[in-house]
């Protein structure tokens, strides 16, 4: 299999027969213990719900949050497991790793996220336990999305043990930055342009930069797609695209909040598709389209609408954002990715810079501008208070100040992504994780029994 000395200074073992089972069993056991100590049903999942209804004068079961959010949760769940999973099957011989490791780390991540986010957001002050229900399930899926984005940059180049470590730290960092952005800074980010996409994108890019592989071209035979692997990837693309309105509206306010977030996202995504096809066709001889663009850049509109979807951005405002994102993201695949690999030494397998990092950052900016330009005439006094949650200690915040805080939140997400990526990248560089040689990247044979 070639000369090891040319490809890497150290011979590597990809044997994970001890490390992967150990990580899975030990961490799952830890989850059970921590859940036993900390996690309980909340009012709406507990069998005391009937008494709770009477105390709160709730007259119908339909007021249980389950009925407001569970359909959206299921859509989000599909995005996480089928959407991200199948989007990463596009490589000709790394489809098992794409969908399989995505499955593994998401299943671990949601458990750890329930704990981490629970400590920050759902802690019962009386008994010190975390009370969970459907909203926590959605938030856990969201949190994991950040880690799956980061996986996209490293696809085919890391071991499953590394991915587990990346997820452990990713979820932890996410919970902290989310707490700072949403609670301390009081920025709004229902669809996570900042907390999920900006953070996750830069987190993954920095890790990929630190794990730079100078001889990656030696596994060139496994790079790229084949006809049917591109079709499998389209399954991922379409489920992400179709359910993104649910993603951005899943934890928005009941009523008009969820309704508006879904509508804005729907429009933004539609516009992204047209400009993606336009730029893709324009860039190639004969106007031929590139599946990579269709699979990815069409989704950029959903990313960029993650902060502003619940705001009164207007239908045409949503279209404008989508219009720009399709162009920007396709341009990224055409121009920026090659440049980044050549000059910045960032090998970004799935192009998450173009699909998540840039559009996420743009979404944060759009959110700040939309917030800063909000007005009582557009929202109504009550609508303004509800949308931006100007209550309690934030009752006197102005929209201008809110805009500034949105921008501050974006910076926090960016810094956590960069800093967290540097930290975790350093850890993952240790020669103990079973990652493959440069010449064996993108090959399922490494970690799977392939028939």
Q: Could you say which residues in the range 68-87 bind a copy of itself, by CB under 8 A?
A: 68, 70-72, 74-75, 77-78, 81-82, 85-86
User: Is residue 28 at the binding interface for a copy of itself, with CB under 8 A as the rule?
Assistant: yes
Pairing of strands 39-41, 130-132: parallel
Question: What is the x/- site pattern for a copy of itself, positions 159-178, by CB under 8 A?
Answer: -x------------------
Answer yes or no whether residue 231 interacts with a copy of itself by CB under 8 A.
yes
Nearer to a copy of itself, 214 or 255 (CB): 255
First to last CA, the chain: 20
80, 148 contact by CB (below 8 A) = yes
- Rounded to 5°, angle at Cα 38 from 101 and 409: 65
For residue 76, the surrounding DSSP H or E stretch is helix 65-78
Measured from the CB atom, is 236 or 425 closer to a copy of itself? 236
Site membership for a copy of itself, residue 127 (CB under 8 A): no
Name the token pair of 438. Answer: 């440069």
Q: Can residue 29 be called a binding residue for a copy of itself (CB under 8 A)?
A: yes
Four-residue CA torsion sign, 283, 287, 291, 293: positive
CB of 345 to a copy of itself, least distance (A): 25
Residue 15 binds to a copy of itself (criterion: CB under 8 A): yes
CA distance 298 to 330: 9
* Residue 155 in the binding site for a copy of itself (CB under 8 A): no
Distance from the Cα of residue 135 to its chain's centroid: 17
389 counts as binding a copy of itself under rule CB under 8 A: no
Interface residues for a copy of itself in 40-69 (CB under 8 A)?
40-41, 44-51, 53, 60-68
Measured from the CB atom, is 6 or 29 closer to a copy of itself? Answer: 29
Residue 89 sits in the site that holds a copy of itself (CB under 8 A): yes
The yes or no reply on residue 123 touching a copy of itself (CB under 8 A) is no
**Residue in this structure with the two tokens 């850049």, named with its chain if needed:** 297
Rank residues 35 and 120 by Cβ distance to a copy of itself and give the closer one: 35
> Site residues for a copy of itself, window 395-434 (CB under 8 A)?
434
Q: Does 124 bind a copy of itself (CB under 8 A)?
A: no
Q: Sign of the C-alpha dihedral, residues 294, 295, 301, 304?
A: negative
Site for a copy of itself in 185-204 (CB under 8 A): none
247 binding a copy of itself? (CB under 8 A): no
333 binds a copy of itself (CB under 8 A): no
Does 289 participate in binding a copy of itself (rule CB under 8 A)?
Answer: yes
What are 60-68's contacts with CB under 8 Å, separation 24+? 65/133, 65/134, 65/135, 66/133, 66/134, 68/254, 68/258
In the list 133, 156, 191, 364, the residue contacting a copy of itself (rule: CB under 8 A) is 133
- Measured CA distances, 333 to 93, 220, 328 (Å): 22, 18, 9
Of 158, 211, 319, 441, which one interacts with a copy of itself (CB under 8 A)? Answer: 319
95 binds a copy of itself (CB under 8 A): yes
Q: Does 134 contact a copy of itself by CB under 8 A?
A: yes
How far is residue 201's CA from residue 73's CA, in Å, rounded to a whole number?
23
Which one of the spans 131-139, 192-200, 353-361, 425-433 is the region binding a copy of itself (CB under 8 A)?
Answer: 131-139
Q: How far is 27 from 163, CA to CA, in rounded Å? A: 13
Shortest gap between Cβ of 219 and a copy of itself (angstroms)? 16
- Name the CA radius of gyration of the chain, rounded: 22
CA 93 to chain centre: 24
């Amino acid at each position: 299999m070639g000369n090891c000395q040319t490809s890497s200074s150290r011979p590597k073992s990809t044997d994970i027969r001890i490390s992967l089972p150990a990580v899975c069993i030990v961490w799952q056991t830890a989850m059970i213990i921590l859940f036993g100590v900390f996690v309980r049903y909340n009012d709406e999942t507990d069998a005391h719900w009937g008494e709770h209804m009477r105390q709160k004068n709730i007259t119908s079961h339909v007021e249980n949050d389950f009925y407001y959010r569970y359909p959206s949760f299921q859509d989000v769940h599909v995005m996480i497991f089928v959407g991200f999973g199948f989007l990463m099957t596009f490589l000709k011989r790394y489809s098992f790793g794409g969908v399989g490791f995505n499955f593994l780390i998401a299943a671990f991540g949601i458990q750890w996220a329930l704990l981490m986010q629970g400590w920050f957001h759902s802690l019962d002050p009386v008994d010190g336990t975390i009370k969970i229900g459907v909203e926590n399930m959605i938030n856990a899926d969201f949190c994991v999305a950040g880690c799956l984005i980061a996986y996209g940059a490293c696809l085919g180049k890391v071991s499953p043990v590394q991915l587990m470590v990346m997820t452990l730290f990713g979820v932890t960092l996410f919970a902290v930055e989310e707490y700072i952005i949403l609670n301390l800074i009081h920025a709004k980010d229902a669809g996570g342009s900042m907390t999920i996409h900006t953070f996750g994108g830069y987190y993954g890019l920095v890790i990929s930069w630190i794990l730079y592989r100078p001889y990656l071209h030696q596994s060139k035979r496994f790079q790229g797609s084949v006809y049917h692997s591109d079709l499998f990837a389209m399954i991922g693309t379409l489920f992400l695209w179709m359910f993104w309105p649910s993603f951005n509206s899943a934890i928005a306010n009941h009523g008009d909040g969820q309704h508006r977030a879904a509508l804005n996202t729907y429009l933004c995504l539609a516009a992204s598709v047209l400009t993606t096809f336009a730029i893709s066709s324009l860039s190639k001889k004969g106007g031929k389209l590139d599946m990579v663009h269709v699979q990815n850049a069409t989704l950029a509109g959903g990313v960029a609408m993650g902060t502003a979807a619940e705001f009164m951005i207007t239908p045409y405002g949503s279209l404008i954002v989508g219009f720009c994102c399709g162009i920007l993201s396709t341009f990224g695949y055409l121009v920026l990715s090659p440049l980044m690999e050549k000059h910045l030494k960032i090998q970004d397998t799935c192009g998450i810079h173009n699909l998540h990092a840039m559009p996420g950052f743009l979404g944060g900016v759009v959110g700040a501008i939309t917030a800063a330009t909000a007005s009582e005439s557009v929202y109504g006094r009550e609508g303004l208070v509800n949308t931006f949650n100007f209550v309690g200690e934030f009752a006197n915040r102005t929209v201008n100040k809110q805009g500034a805080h949105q921008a501050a939140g974006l910076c926090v997400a960016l810094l956590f992504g960069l800093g967290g990526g540097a930290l975790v990248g350093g850890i993952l560089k240790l020669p103990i994780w079973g990652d493959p040689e440069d010449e064996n990247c993108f090959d399922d044979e490494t970690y799977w029994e392939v028939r």
